[in-house]
């Protein structure tokens, strides 16, 4: 919850393809002043390169694109929902409806792993995925994340 950027939650992505959705989420982090305009293209390319090596669409309608980079000083998460679904080459072959994009400092691998574990723990729950997909506003997403965070503690 601490690393989710409220202004980088997009309840309804405009993009209809994987690369566009990744760029849209990075753009939301630029708009939220978490990523500089100069870093934008570098991070988009790095995440797409990572996706081309193996999809982060792990099934059940969700994907977790991520990258570790020396230019990232603080971990950030952007979240986007696609009403139509996006072909992310997910492991189960289904479209992706919720995307959780993670940027991590390269020199903090343990924090990256902790964040990935927390993300996958939530996304592995059918109820969480369903409520995330149904979220219609940033506040809906934040409420869901806060409730999940509080339940874990």
Contact assessment for residue 26 and residue 72, using Cβ atoms and an 8 Å cutoff: no
Active-site residue, selected from the candidate residues 60, 66, 76, 112: 66
Which burial class, exposed, middle or buried, applies to 52 when counting CB atoms under 10 A from its CB (0-12, 13-18, 19+)?
exposed
Among this protein's residues, is 66 annotated catalytic?
Answer: yes
- Concatenating the DSSP letter of every residue in 90-137 gives -TTSPPEEEEEEEEEETT-HHHHHHHHHHHHHHHTSHHHHHHHHH--S
Residues assigned a catalytic role: 66
């Amino acid at each position: 919850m601490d690393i989710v950027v409220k202004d980088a939650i997009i309840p309804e992505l405009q993009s209809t393809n994987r690369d566009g959705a990744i760029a849209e989420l990075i753009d939301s982090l630029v708009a939220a002043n978490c990523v500089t305009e100069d870093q934008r293209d570098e991070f988009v390319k790095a995440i797409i390169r990572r996706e081309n090596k193996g999809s982060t669409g792990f099934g059940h309608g969700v994907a977790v694109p991520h990258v570790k980079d020396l230019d990232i000083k603080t971990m950030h998460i952007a979240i986007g929902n696609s009403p139509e679904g996006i072909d992310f080459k997910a492991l189960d072959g289904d479209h992706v409806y919720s995307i959780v994009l993670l940027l991590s400092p390269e020199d903090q691998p343990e924090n990256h792993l902790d964040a990935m574990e927390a993300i996958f723990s939530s996304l592995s729950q059918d109820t969480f995925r369903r409520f995330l997909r149904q979220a219609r506003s940033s506040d809906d997403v934040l409420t869901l994340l806060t409730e999940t965070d509080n339940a874990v503690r």
